[in-house]
Amino acid sequence: MDNYENNRKKEIEEIRQIENNIVSQLEQSSKYLALTGNLPSYQEYNEMTGNLKFKGEQAENSEKTLFALRQEVELRKDQLNKLESAEESVNQQMAQLNEKLQSMQSEIDTKFNRIQQIKVDFENKEKRLKKERDELQNYKNTIVDELRKINYDHNLKEKKLLMHEMYTSYSEAEKKYSNSQNNVNNLKAFIITKTKDMNYEIIREECRKLVEDINKVLLK
């Protein structure tokens, strides 16, 4: 852009110099005519015409250059406007990106803190479960020891009972009692079933005698 401005100023200065030269030539021609009072010679005329033609070509070239420079200026202005628009768009995108990055960073920090909290909770839960496991293991060991002791006592008592001299008699009496109890239950069921069809008093007397016989057996 600086080169363009320098070239533009240079071209304008050259055009001004050309114009000044043309004016100077015309003034000189006027002075020459005024002093001589005669028209220039053919050779002078040709020289003047050549100079004017050359100056005109220079002026035309300068105008073309100036026109091209103006077009270049407009093009550069358009490009500059586009660059400014693009820069504004980029700035907006950068602002949005920064905002998004800040949001993402905040979200990451929040999740990281949450992860840390979850980790702490997990460690606390793990410690609590280990403690409960140890307590349960101790309780299990205690129960096992108690069961062993109970089994030992039971086996010991069972052995002592088997070794006792009255165990055999006791077992036989227990069997007799069980059989008698079954007979009594069967008799009661029979009485309930036959009450309507039979004389209750006779049956009751038979039952009473049967019970007495059973008791006598048990007392032996």
> What confidence score (pLDDT) does residue 188 get?
60
- Domain co-membership, 172 together with 117: no
156 found inside a domain: no
> What confidence score (pLDDT) does residue 66 get?
72
Q: Which residue has the higher pLDDT, 37 or 140?
A: 140
> What confidence score (pLDDT) does residue 140 get?
72
- Domain co-membership, 205 together with 102: no
Which of 60-69, 85-94, 143-152, 173-182 has the largest mean confidence? 85-94
Output 175-184 pairs: Cβ under 8 A, ≥24 positions apart. 176/217, 176/218, 177/218, 180/214, 180/217, 180/218, 183/210, 183/214, 184/211, 184/214
24 found inside a domain: yes
Closest to 33 in 3D by CA, of 21, 41, 22 = 41
- Domain co-membership, 7 together with 70: yes
Quote the tokens at residue 219.
């007392």
Expressed as residue numbers, the domain containing 31 is: 2-121
- Domain co-membership, 19 together with 103: yes
> What confidence score (pLDDT) does residue 88 get?
82
Give the mean pLDDT of 109-123: 72
Contact between 179 and 214 under an 8 Å Cβ cutoff? The reply is: no
pLDDT category, 183, cuts 50, 70, 90?
A: low
pLDDT category, 131, cuts 50, 70, 90?
A: confident
pLDDT digits (tens, 9 = 90+) for 34-75: 655 555 565 665 676 667 677 667 767 767 777 777 787 787
- Domain co-membership, 86 together with 175: no
- Domain co-membership, 182 together with 116: no
> What confidence score (pLDDT) does residue 147 get?
72
61 found inside a domain: yes
pLDDT digits (tens, 9 = 90+) for 68-100: 777 877 877 777 778 777 778 878 888 888 888
Contact between 178 and 185 under an 8 Å Cβ cutoff? The reply is: no
Last residue of a domain, one of 102, 121, 140: 121
Residue 181 has pLDDT above 80, yes or no: no
145 found inside a domain: no
159 found inside a domain: no
> Quick one: what percent of the chain has pLDDT higher than 90?
0
Total domains present in the chain? 2
